[in-house]
Amino acid sequence: MKEILTLLKEGNKPSLLAAIVNTVIAIMKAVAFFLTGNIAMFAEMLHSLGDAANQFFVYIGSALSKKAPTAKFPNGFGRVVNLVCLGAVIVVAIMSYEAVIGGWHHILNPVESSGLILNLSVLGSAIVLESFVLYKAGKEILHDAGIQKGGLAPLTISFKHLNRAKPATKLVFMEDLVATMGGVLAFVAVLFAHFFGILIAEGIASVLIGLMMFYVVGKVFLENARGAIGETDEEMLTHIAHLVAEDPDVKDIQRVEVVKEGEFLHVEVVAEVDPSHTVAYVDDIRDRLLDLILQQKGVREVLISFDEDDGVSTWKKENPPKVVKQFSSKLPK
């Protein structure tokens, strides 16, 4: 139990905040829907319920992914967060389907809803709360990218750095972006239905909200499927390859791999060194490179192997290789 509590403290904070906020919003929208029968509110209720459910799952998954490797699972649990995100999008997909179907039925058979003030109050409050969570998630994305900016930056430039964000943070940002846009859409639909008598506006809003949710489902599914399989981080691969190549004792690089393991990076390097060096000297080179690579953001595991310099230049600074050739790693005698 103590270990579980410790892990939960290290879970992704934006996803926990989003889960709590969306639970409160879902309850508000559920009350409003049952009192007014507004179909746009129904879609928003499903949206918030789906978001709250999978964000709780993602929070737990992000915490479990930080569990240290064990004898039974020597590669660690980094990809657990990707697997949890894959499961979470199923919940969103079901809610998306219900929102689209409910909206389509309303378009075919429009029914006037009541409770204008209640609907607008709930939707307005939800938009403010969702925007707050979106801002927090955007701020976390900038933090992951090493950018310290306030003001509107988390809502503007965070889009450019989504690829550098943790899987859980990225999911929260995308879901709350769609939730905020959906809230605005539902708000406008309620106004159109009440003041202009366009009753199908609420059904159209429900369908559009469902389709936006489907977009999140598709994007999150593809990204986390790649993460669960094991995806190369191209940017960090180039960066680490340059760091290794700059070491004065490294003659060449045979292979560099940087694979995403959930929120962390697994690095493997095969470098060539002068065969005249002693084992003790090569061990010092390894320790130096190990410390340097582990200092890089997100790197958790590093495996460094050496081969003797064959006199053939393999690594090119402009295009560092992922896998260049087969090899048998060995230390000099």
What does the block give as tokens for 266? 């697994």
Decide which of 202, 229, 256 is a domain's last residue.
Answer: 229
Confidence class for position 268, pLDDT limits 50, 70, 90? very high
Decide which of 178, 207, 229 is a domain's last residue.
Answer: 229
Indicate whether 218 and 238 sit together in one domain.
Answer: no
Q: Are 124 and 41 in contact (CB under 8 A)?
A: no
The pair phi, psi for residue 20, each rounded to 5°, is: -65, -45
**Cβ neighbours around 288 below 10 Å, total:** 13
Decide which of 163, 196, 229 is a domain's last residue.
Answer: 229
Residue 189 lies in a domain: yes
Q: Return the pLDDT at 3.
A: 66
Indicate whether 266 and 185 sit together in one domain.
Answer: no
Indicate whether 144 and 279 sit together in one domain.
Answer: no
For residue 217, the enclosing domain spans: 2-229
- Please state the separation of Cα 172 from the chain's center in Å: 7
Residue 313 lies in a domain: no
**Cβ neighbours around 34 below 10 Å, total:** 11
Question: Which CATH number belongs to the domain containing residue 250 in this structure?
Answer: 3.30.70.1350
Q: Are 134 and 29 in contact (CB under 8 A)?
A: no
Q: How much is the pTM?
A: 0.71
Can you tell me the mean pLDDT for 23-34?
91
Which tens digits make up the pLDDT trace of 49-99?
Answer: 878 887 888 888 888 777 777 778 777 777 787 788 788 778 788 888 888
Which tens digits make up the pLDDT trace of 199-236?
Answer: 899 899 989 988 988 888 888 788 778 777 778 888 88
Can you tell me the mean pLDDT for 311-317?
74
Confidence class for position 157, pLDDT limits 50, 70, 90? confident
Q: Return the pLDDT at 328.
A: 38
Indicate whether 215 and 268 sit together in one domain.
Answer: no
Indicate whether 223 and 238 sit together in one domain.
Answer: no
Indicate whether 21 and 159 sit together in one domain.
Answer: yes
What's the structural domain count of the chain? 2
Indicate whether 223 and 239 sit together in one domain.
Answer: no
Residue 323 lies in a domain: no
Residue 285 lies in a domain: yes
Residue 42 lies in a domain: yes
In the block, tokens 């929208």 appear at: 29
**Cβ neighbours around 326 below 10 Å, total:** 7
Residue 56 lies in a domain: yes
Question: Which CATH number belongs to the domain containing residue 48 in this structure?
Answer: 1.20.1510.10
